[in-house]
Structure 1
Amino acid sequence: MRKNRVLAIVMAVLMVMTLIPSVVFASAAPSGALDGTLKIKGSATVGTTLSADYSKVKPEGITDDLVDFSWSLKDGDLLTEVSTDKSYKIDETAVGLPIVLKITGKEDKGISGSLTAATYEVSETEEEAKALAAQKKEEAKDSGKTEKAADSEDSSSETDPADSADTEAAGETEENSGSQNDSSEETGTDSQEFSYSAEITTEDGSGILDFGSAEEGYTVIPDAQYVSIKNTGTGELNFKNMSPDHFMVADIDDQPLKAGETTTAWIVPREGLSVGEYKDTITYETEEGVNISFEADFTVKEAQNADPGEIPDSGKDQEKTYKLSVADDNSELTFDTLTEGYEELETRTVTICNDGSENVTLVQPTADHFDVTPVTSVETEGNIQLASGEEQMFTIQPKKGLSAQSNPYEDEIVFSVEEDEAARATVTARVSVKEAVKEEPSVSVDPAEWDFGSLEQGYDTAPEAKTITVTNTGTVAVRLAQPTAVNYEVGTITSEVINPDESASFTVQPKTGLSANQYNGRISVKDIDGNTLTSVSVSFAVTEPQPVYDLSISPESLEFGTSEEGYKNAPAVQTVTVTNTGNTSITLKQPGSDYYIIGELSALELSTGSSATFTVQPKNGLTQGEYLEDISVFNSGNVSCYVNAHFSVSKKTVTANNLTGIKKPSDIKDLPNGTEKSQKALKLPSTVKITTTKGETKASVKWDVKGCSYNPSSADRQIFNVKGTVILPDGVKNPDNISTVIAVSVTVKAYKGTQAKETENKITGIDANGKYDTNSKITFTAVGAGMDNESPKKGDTRYLPGSWKITETRTWDAAPYTATFRVSKAGQYTLAVTFKQQKYNGSKWENTGSESSKKVTFNVSQAASVTATITPNPSVTGTITPNPSVTGTNKKSAVQTGDSTPIVPFAIILVAAAACIGGILVYRKNKK
């Protein structure tokens, strides 16, 4: 029996040990919305690595794996994201700027909301950082801010970096957030301290809310009264919920009350209070230790049991009086002078008092030139009810659309009651409306003048177009007409309407084909009605060309073949054409020859582009021999112009086929730059003409292309010779050892270069006139024209992004030309990117000194926040009934144990326990 008990104990112990990981070591993972104070570990100096400190962040147990990170440099209203890692190492680009850390909870891990913290401006050394912290501390003291106690571990604060120069901890509008409050040991700088204080005022300034009295068993609760609470400190206040015994009050728990802000809260007596006099001191408390109080008074009287047979006093002996008055003697209202076409209206208020003994029904007053509206009222069938001794507030403002006149508009506004026409109160309202001063449009152009230089008459390519920027320097929008010009091409203007401080642009370029002259003029910039607003002075000169004498002849050679000696019929006549390819007229002279018959020139005077012809034919009776002759056409321009004529006369008795000559191939001219170094690309002929004793034939040529000096990668103009060896056909002999090596001259044009256009520079990733909010991260990329030219040649140009600016200039040293930023303050901003022009010199890109700018304008709006409205009493029309508010803490999330205990050791224990039990059972069985 004892052995059985021992066995049972051992088994129980082992079983319990296997359960230890899930019972002892299990712990709930943190969940809920981020709250409390986020800190930054590390000194705000160059070279330091910063990280997040969660010691004062709620819920407890937050780790790096539960949040996302965003590290940004803060430049005024601009936040430029620099890292999304868990830590950030400060480099020199951050000097002089605060660093902002924002953590955002991962919803899939049960964490919501975000917190933000910031450092002081980054310093280069630790000593500078400490000096900056001391300076900030002194500035805080000088501005009247008190230091928070160093041991206050449970407080949190929040400031807006756009409103405070002493701290850069950015608060979030929609989410719970904390601010930086690091010790000098953690950040290397003294932290910003906050003061916490508030004041509370009642509507009459007495500090007491008097709700009067009611009889026991009352069912109508007195109307709600209000108190104003103002945060007079420098830190945010987080109010605690409360529930006084005798009064219902509005909780201030929808969001923290920022420094300098004011909120209102309602108070009403509770229903069903017993007889007694209640003078309660009601105190609002904050988590920061601030207490503010006011007194609320309410009396509950015993119910008066009236005799059922008693007739109540009819009041006949009491005289009824009806009287109205204007509070504070505010019966004269003079409004500020308006300008015709006004939109915004000034509003004044007047308070009408019921000074009579009876409740009255106010008649809604009307006026010709003013709108009169009750602020709040108790209405019955559309009429305003006003009890004796009570007041009714009205707003009065001028009506829209009043035209300008010399005298002010004046109305007598009469407040009366239905019960007595004599009971009246009068308010006189007056306002002046002046004529609107017509605002004249004003624009400027940049540049205001431009000289396109000069070109010779006959130019094929006009000077590069110039971009003219038109800027609205006035206060009214301008609708522009399309500029035009006679001798210039004017591009389409980029925007027809430009608002104040906005710009549009168009291009100007001289037309092609202009004759010699000076083309000076002004291109007017006009509005849509034809009014000239400004103009651009332009100039361009076309000069007379220098005399150029040049002739071309076609064909350049004449081949008449071979005839046997004693031939009777000369080869057929061939025609030669001479063309004037210069820009000046030329006079030709009749050519002559000893061996050829030259026909008369068809014309002797050749104007530019005109031609003349003559014929050539070998003479009869020529003896055996080679008749190779250059027939020249002499002229007044002394231009070399000849045609090479060849005719061969052979002996009849000759039977051998011997080489007698090789005809030189024509020169190859004007090949495009970069032509491939090959026979085909260089247009080298595969055969040439040769003459033999049996006549004329063709022979193939082997060209030494590799041996020529041509460089296909050169951007310069090249003239070179290509040598070739003539391969004689079968049966052709060369007994006279005539050289079979020939050469041809080849000309390759120079590379002109590809010019990148600045109009092709662009900014991507951000929308022109786009709308973003203050929580948006904006990422853009600058793309320069010609950036993708990976195989540049000498003379090519391109644009590279150099810098960008919204409030301050930031530069790029190398690709990628991308940046990310956020803007913490609403408004309209302009992103400007400067592109630098570069030119390739044959081995590297060099800056030309020319720059181009590209701009994108976008709008940033404040991220919306939601404020709940609470109605205190649904039974009274126009009052407010309190409703429970819903906050982010009401959200449910799945439970996570967070148990990271290794299970392998406990599995081993479980196996060992099973082995032990098995061994004991075997032992017992064997023993039995």
Structure 2
Amino acid sequence: MKRWMAMCLAIIMVLTMLPGTVFAAVESDSGKLEGTLTIKGTLKEGEKLSADLTKVKPTGFTTDQVKYEWFRVGADGKNMSVGTETTYTLKTEDVGCSLQLTLTGKEGATVTGTISSSKVGPVAAKEGSAPTAATTPTVSVVPETPTPSSVQENNSIENDSGVSAVPTQGPVVTQSSTPAPVQQPSVAPVNEPSEIPTQTPVPDTNHGSTGGSENSLPTINDPIIVQDNNGIKAEITTEALPAGKVGEPYHANIEASGNVVGWELENRVLPKGIVWDENTGTFTGTPEVAGTTPGIMVKATFEDGSTDSKTFEIKIEETDKTQDQPGPDTGDQDGTDTPSGPSEDDTQTVELSTDPETVDFGTLYTGYEDAKLSFSLINSGTKKAEKLTYTLSGDMKDVLVVEEISSVESGGNVPVTVTLKSGLAEKEKAYSSTLTIKDEDTGTEVEVKISAKVEKRIYKLKISNKELNFGSYTVGYTNISSQEIKLSNTGNADLTVKIPSGESFDVDGDVEAVLKEGDSATYQIKPKSGLGAGEYSEELTFTTDEGAKASVTAKVTVKEKENYSFDVYWSQDNGEFKGDFGYAPLGYNDENGFAPHSRNLVIRNTGNKELNFKQPVSNSGDKSVYDITKLDEATMTNVQPGEEIKVAVRPKSGLTADVYDEDIVIDATNDKKDPVVKHVTFTVVKSGISIYQGVSANQGTIKAKNGVEKSQSGLGIPGTVKIKTTSGSRDATVKWNIKDCDYNPDLKEEQSFTVWGEVVLPSDVINPAFVSRVTSIGVRVLAYDAKKANKSENKIYGIAQGDVFQAGKTISFSAEGSGMNRKESPEKGDVRYEPTYWKVTDTNAKWSAEDGWNKAPYSASFVIGNSGSYKLKVTFTKETYDGEKWVGNEKDSDGTDVKSVSFRVKGNANTTSDKKNTVTKVKNAVKTGDETNIVPMILLAVAGVLVIGGAGIVLRNRHKKDQRGK
């Protein structure tokens, strides 16, 4: 039974834990950059490289979330930033070097951290260039005499491109796509062997491959293909290095899982005669001295950017010698020969030497930081050097620090590190000191010459051209060829060049080029497009972060296009005039005031060339009824750009009743264009025509309702006004300028504004004196009349006064407030009553139910299980619209309104037991923000209840059975 109970409890515990595990949200990918970043493209000058992001996490990020930075890695291992675009085109400067790409999450982006690709290279020169060892990918194998300890199965050597070849016995085999000189392996700068085996090319019997077609070497046209490790951990797998013997060839490979893209020897103290090849991870040479060299640290860098380091030791043993010559005759009586042994006079000695014999810190610059160099102290003697001391002399002795020198075993060597402290000043000649190391027991000494050159840093930038003259162009030019300038670093320190931003000239090139000593960079300069007419001269200054500068002055002239043009228009001095001299009664003259005034015709040179004009004339010639001012020849010739000529035009006096239409012709002699024609008209009317004498400038003010249409009819503006004429007051239509009046139909506040108009004269009224026909009218648009709410309109539906309901049945009702169901959108100031609260109580106030609303539907339901009298009360709250939202006005005297209705319930819900009264609100459930699907949890809960119930039944039956058994 206990076992059954334990099982039930375990099931219940599992069920209660499931919701937290089954329905937990899945965490999103980390935003940190990780995985493997590789480079795609062909390693050849002029080709474009790009990033392969297929194995970079997190997935789905966009290129605008990260910063790209391309690095060029030289043969010396130093790198230089060469680009920040998503792609990089290989340049001439990249030939022989490797490339590396780094991605960094931008500030504020969801992507964080930094990831770098492996180095790929070397870059080959484009076709047609002379092939070199640096530009043609090759694989070189150092010749060796294999021994059982040095030959390993599947031993491989990798070049910089990540291509593996199996080493073979015998001479070097060099494989490449084009003939190239054999490259010596890169070796450590110390402990070089006294003899390096000669590398002699031999015929390629494997057709360019040491391991079949699958291991064929890349050509300069092959794209870079980086393979992953297929799930194998990238690490150094070699456990120990084989021992060697003095005078016998030595060879040992460092093996690793995964694809190694770079080897590095972090402790370069090796047995004398042994060298290190950083291209293949191989130790080779012929040992010269016996002993054990510990602490040799090798570092491997893999294609995924990871590294692994391991420390080894190399033990060199003495060569076994066979006694093949008899010893000296001792003259023993028995006639036998006794082998000779060591002489009693032999003494043990200490023989000290260094590799290299001199230490040169090279050229340093003022302000340098502490520098360190190491060399090997070698004991070739037969005695251990146990008590070593040293002394320093020369002009650097006060700034040189020698780390503690330990003892040196016979035939062994130890590293010695010398630190040059900062503080040496600039000096024309090199500094020199001597480090003397002495074995106090034997008095043996060895001297090491130490030197350093300190120079002043010179930041100097030279420019190839001081001035660029682009010549002359015409406005609207489409393209101007750029000119090239070259910047050179003529100092002795790196310079970071910044491109100038010109106002009139564009500068194109590397925006932040890093120039090493002697390096150069080219830039393209040209005038910007769209320059207007003028002479442009601008000094463009290239600056550097280090303070060096170099400037070039760029010049260009932009001329205007030849433009012969002019404009003719009527002077507006006397009001708007369009060539219509209007009407005049028969017998008009200056004395009676009905003769029209003269008008000025303006001729303006709108081009950029001088113009010569003819005298303006009417197309009617001598029969013209218009007087036109005669201009002198000087006025009409040499009219400069922008100058004006005014010509007065007026109808002649004494004309009979008629309409007089003519054209005034204006022509320039040197514009090669058609003349300009201006039309004029004048009407002389016969007797019986009224003369216009004016109109009231203010027609008063009218009222309009809020929100009316912006039109003459909408605003209620009259269509006619009264004008004065020689025949009395007359009605005249008005052309009102409704469009430009200051009226906004959307505003609910009161608006007052003026509408201007122009009188249209009747056909029998003339205006020979050009009296103003402008008039106006004031308009007052009333404010919006807000909609009010009436408490009497607040209603309760579903329950009427005196209704009777059956006990236990659902009773539903709804409430509607005044102003709640308006179809149109509310306006500022509108008022409504919103149902907000309800309550049901019985007559004796022994039971009640209540709830409220904050949005539609304003409905609820309840069930009453007992008979009796009840009352439902609904509270309505007054609200006013403030233009954006409804705001409650509960504090107003009429801020709330309570409506009630009485009803009865008969019968009982249950004859055996009273059913409690319940309330069910008909409204949307409150949203908590938890979107978890609770159906599976409910099912799990039901399952838990069933299990518990089943356990209870079993226990009860078991208990009854036990009782019967008793």
TM-score of the pair, normalised by structure 1: 0.36
- The structure whose Rg is larger is 2
Larger RCO: 1 or 2 (CA < 8 Å, sep 6+): 1
